[in-house]
Structure 1
């Protein structure tokens, strides 16, 4: 009885198998025809196809893997050995898009070949030779700067990667201010005369806080480079005549801009030109330079000259300066809203 049942079942199984095989064959034929049609639709020019594919991959990469970045703007004069050390240091910091070197050694070839001989480098470096050795060369709106954030650095200052990265996050919150590591202040006597100084003015005048953040180690917005180029010619002449004070003029410009159109959400207390980030590892490398070139801040009349600039700028802007004070400072290991700098 069992043998008979199996024998009767075999024809049915065979019919089901033949039906399934028939539909499977139809599916394979249709799939093959569709594949041939798609292949014929592809471009015959192999290079064109490869180019389109490469562009598509590049665009996807740019959209999905392009984090916020900043440009390092570094002006140098007669310190090639320090420059190479700084290029090596800053090129390895995260989020750096490129480094722009403002080469003020007029008539001297930049060390491009030497730098390139040690490739590969993490980021590109552009050497921009200048026709004259001017302090304000670094504040040009260079076309090589492709980012909104610009880290301006002196050629004898090294700031740790941690400090730079933290300051960059602070700048992203306060992009309209100068976010940097070196605060300074001014005072105005009853006679209306301005004096420039740093922490020593506390003991003489009982002041707390700062009114400027120097741009020798600071983040700025690229838009301020355009504004600086459009400052009155008298301001540019003052900077060129003294070979000094470009950072003071820059602070005055930013403070005036913030006072004219303060960003939404920013309190009057925070309308100072700069925001001080307390560094934990900022070093001056001047003593390591083989050239022995010493910065202008060593000159005996340096502070007097900067006070002179303040008073000249005050005259140019109607007899007074817009330089609000701030005691706001930020640290990687804690935030202080009412501390001395």
Structure 2
């Protein structure tokens, strides 16, 4: 799972479109999210949003996929992010600027223990990338217009169903939240209520006046 974010030299574009094998997006959805990403190139921009919360009764962080006004993660199953990030390191006289790939930071900055955890469970690589990007930018991701119900298609692979059908999948993601925050030493995820929609989205005007018509029908 961690190899998904390996810094391959073949990646030359600034934007990286990350998709799961069972993601279904229209060309309008891809085009619109790419346009939005241009305005927020340092953040993860995409569709399936999730959130975190502090569970007082259990004394630990929780993970939720419930639809609310707030979110703190945009999963990499359908999102854009920049292939590199600028890190400003202050020094006595001048500021040093380093360019690092998000892929490079994921592969070489994060410890082997977290990579092993992700690979062993075949889960949580998307959460870990959100932790990393939010820790670097100190900003939440950007959510864009999405279907009323985002469904991860249950793909059949022989006699096995996809990982989304595994009853332990959600429990594993809860455990990941706490392991990741423990390594970072704090909770880097930040909540946001901002969602960006196309101009005239859901407005009572002719569909012919709207650029992203397919999104309107989803």
TM-score band w.r.t. shorter chain: 0.7 to 0.9
Q: Deviations over 1:101-152 (max 9, x none)?
A: xxxxxxxxxxxxxxxxxxxxxxxxxxxxxxxxxx122111112211010100
How many equivalent pairs are there?
182
Deviation at 1:334, TM superposition (A): 4.8
The corresponding residue for 1:225 is 103
Equivalent-residue separation in structure 1 for 2:191 and 2:31 (angstroms): 26
SS of equivalent to 1:159: coil
SS where residue 187 of structure 1 aligns?
Answer: strand
Superposition map of 1:49-88 within 5 A: none
Q: CA deviation at 1:313?
A: 1.1
**So what's the TM-score if we normalise by structure 1?**
0.50
User: Which 5+ residue runs of structure 1 have no aligned equivalent?
Assistant: 1-134, 203-207, 260-270, 336-341
Correspondent of 1:322 among 188, 193, 196: 188
User: Matched residues in 2 for 1:174 and 1:306: separation?
Assistant: 27
Between structure 1 and structure 2, the one with the greater Rg is: 1
Residue 113 of structure 2 corresponds to residue 247 of structure 1? no
Residue of structure 2 equivalent to 1:279: 146
| Gapped regions of structure 2 (runs ≥ 5) | 85-101, 202-218
Q: Give the C-alpha shift of residue 283 in structure 1.
A: 6.7
- Cα separation, 1, equivalents of 2:159 and 2:49: 26
2:3 equivalent among 137, 141, 148: 137
Contact 2:123 2:173 in 1 (8 A): yes
Q: Structure 1 291/275 Cα, relative in aligned 2: closer, same or farther at 3 Å? A: same
Name the structure 2 match of 1:128.
none
CA drift at 1:193:
0.2
CA RMSD of aligned residues (A): 2.3
Alpha-carbon separation, structure 1, partners of 2:4 and 2:144: 22
Aligned partner of 2:162 in structure 1 is 295
* Counterpart mapping for 1:152-191 below 5 A: 152-190=18-56
Provide the rounded CA distance (Å) in 2 between the counterparts of 1:237 and 1:166.
35
Compute the displacement of 1:301 (Å).
1.5
Contact 2:20 2:78 in 1 (8 A): yes
Work out which structure has the larger RCO, using CA pairs closer than 8 Å and 6 or more positions apart in sequence: 2
